[in-house]
Amino acid sequence: MLDTIFFILRKKNNQITFLHVYHHTSILVLWWIGIKWVPGGSSFYSSMVNSFVHVVMYTYYGLSVFPSIRSYLWWKRYLTQLQLIQFVSYLMQAILGLRENCGFPRWMGYGMLLYMVSMLTLFGNFYYKTYRDAKSKQEGKHNSRNDTVVNGVTQNGSQKKLN
């Protein structure tokens, strides 16, 4: 939760998005509910996976502090993919728990199911906007150059037929 404070101190307010605020406020409530009413067992899995993901994530952010290392940190997009995989695994856990009636409270299973759908939607949207949409915009820049000629076929950004 301290990353929000670090964003504010570093004046990186653009990083305090709806996704960030929603995730951090909702996760506080959900972990309190989980610890209060369903500790151990099925709850252990999500805390173990989440801890692993955060170790990887904060290793990345810790290394990114050093300017000389930043050019070697090519794997940021894979952190988001890892988070998406994490949420899919939680979604599967909730579905299996509801289907198999394993003793995990059904109300918590449904809550987890709904929360994971929201997290997959928000993080998926973030991933698309950050990596997919940015990639297509970047490709559009390269394709829209007016002075590009490739093997005499493209001129002024339009396709020309050779006779």
Active site residue 54: no
Check the CA dihedral 117-13-47-126 and report its sign. Answer: positive
User: Which runs of consecutive H residues, i.e. helices, occur in 38-132?
Assistant: 42-63, 67-70, 76-100, 106-127
Out of 23, 24, 54, 142, pick the active-site residue. Answer: 23
The Cα–Cα gap between 97 and 108 comes to 10
The Cα–Cα gap between 9 and 147 comes to 45
The Cα–Cα gap between 95 and 91 comes to 6
- Residues marked active site are found at 23
